[in-house]
């Protein structure tokens, strides 16, 4: 059975006999997998990153998967801001950047307190326009050879006027996502194999006293928490040991999609009804249908 049920609540979210569709393969490589899927609702297609090959791919449902843009500075995570512009976390340039309608690029963040960033990994946009991103060490170089000696999670104000270090005690901060009401920020720590949850302060920073490990997805099989998404009811979807996990908002494990690939690198809801769950592995793009729509990107102003 490709979908293993741990709690009865899973049946509301997905059928245990729902088929897993492999849509395309041949991406990634030893230096970077397929990553960062993002549904482009006004175009009816999916974008995703082919990091190792330094290109952005476009998948059209029922159609082809083609190169959309290259080079991309080996971009990883992708999202859209409130104006619908593409925002990407770029490895090679060590920055978070925004692509304008005319094709020009605006740098959102490339340094903190005068020091170049490490290697931005994933990025999300809050409904007030502020931008949150993770910046781990993902390099064979030891930390002391980087300008910043910690892996950070940052917030950039909507006007790009300020950047704030939210927390710096993760080993490898990776995927991040808000709860539907944006009261909680979830952050994966891939090296530790868990997801931490933080309440947000009114100014958008973390209430650090609320910090807790909400989810653990360690195990004997390949896979770590990497990218992550949340549906409109607050259920959490993330990779982990053995497949793609689904949890309720309290961290209760509901089920696992055992797709058979070595990793679940990232996820995105899409389709006209936002009920197609796309996910990338190291080399593949796949999808599966769910019953509850995901939170759209761009975020809706609250």
pLDDT at res. 214: 97
Each residue's pLDDT tens digit, 233-288: 999 999 999 999 999 999 999 999 999 998 999 999 999 999 999 999 999 999 99
- What is the mean pLDDT of the segment spanning 190-216? 97
Q: What is the model's pLDDT at position 136?
A: 94
What pLDDT was estimated at residue 145? Answer: 66
Q: Is the pLDDT of residue 30 over 70?
A: no
Global pTM reads 0.96
pLDDT of residue 226: 94
At 106-132, the pLDDT tens digits run: 999 999 999 999 999 999 999 999 999
Q: Which CATH architecture has domain 3-289?
A: 6 Propeller (2.120)
Q: What is the pLDDT of residue 25?
A: 93
pLDDT at 57 over 90: yes
Stronger pLDDT, 208 or 138, i.e. the higher one? 208
What is the side-by-side strand order in the sheet with 236-240? 3-5, 253-257, 243-247, 236-240, 228-230
Q: Where are the domains of the chain?
A: 3-289
Residue 65 has pLDDT above 60, yes or no: yes
pLDDT over 90 at 210, yes or no: yes
pLDDT of 302 over the 60 cut: no
CA dist., res. 24 & res. 7, Å (int): 31
**Angle at CA of residue 293, ends 156 and 194, nearest 5°:** 55
CB atoms within 10 A of CB 289: 15
- Mean of per-residue pLDDT scores for the chain: 94
List, in order, residues 6 or more apart from 245 with CB less than 8 Å away: 215, 217, 237, 238, 239, 253, 255, 256, 257
């Amino acid at each position: 059975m490709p979908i293993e049920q741990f709690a009865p609540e899973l049946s509301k979210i997905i059928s245990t006999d729902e088929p897993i569709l492999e849509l395309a393969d041949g991406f990634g490589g030893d230096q970077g997998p397929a990553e960062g899927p993002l549904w482009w609702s006004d175009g009816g297609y999916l974008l995703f990153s082919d990091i190792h090959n330094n290109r952005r791919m476009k998948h059209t449902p029922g159609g082809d998967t083609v190169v959309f843009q290259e080079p991309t500075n080996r971009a990883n995570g992708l999202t859209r801001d409130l104006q619908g512009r593409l925002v990407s976390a770029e490895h090679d340039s060590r920055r978070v950047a925004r692509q304008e309608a005319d094709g020009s690029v605006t740098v959102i963040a490339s340094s903190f307190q005068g020091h170049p960033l490490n290697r931005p990994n994933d990025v999300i946009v809050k409904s007030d326009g502020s931008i949150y991103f993770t910046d781990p060490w993902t390099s064979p170089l030891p930390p002391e050879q980087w300008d910043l000696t910690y892996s950070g999670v940052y917030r950039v104000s909507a006007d790009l006027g300020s950047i704030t270090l939210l927390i710096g005690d993760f080993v490898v901060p990776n995927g991040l996502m808000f709860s539907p009401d944006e009261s909680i920020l979830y952050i994966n720590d891939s090296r530790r194999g868990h997801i931490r949850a933080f309440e947000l302060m009114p100014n958008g920073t973390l209430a650090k006293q609320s910090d807790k490990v909400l989810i653990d997805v360690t195990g004997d099989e390949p896979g770590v928490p990497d990218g992550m998404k949340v549906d409109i009811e607050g259920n959490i979807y993330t990779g982990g040991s053995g497949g793609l996990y689904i949890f309720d908002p309290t961290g209760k494990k509901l089920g696992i999609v055992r797709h058979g690939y070595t990793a679940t690198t990232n996820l995105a809801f899409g389709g006209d009804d936002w009920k197609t769950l796309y996910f990338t592995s190291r080399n593949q793009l796949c999808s599966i249908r769910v019953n509850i729509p995901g939170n759209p990107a761009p975020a809706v102003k609250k």
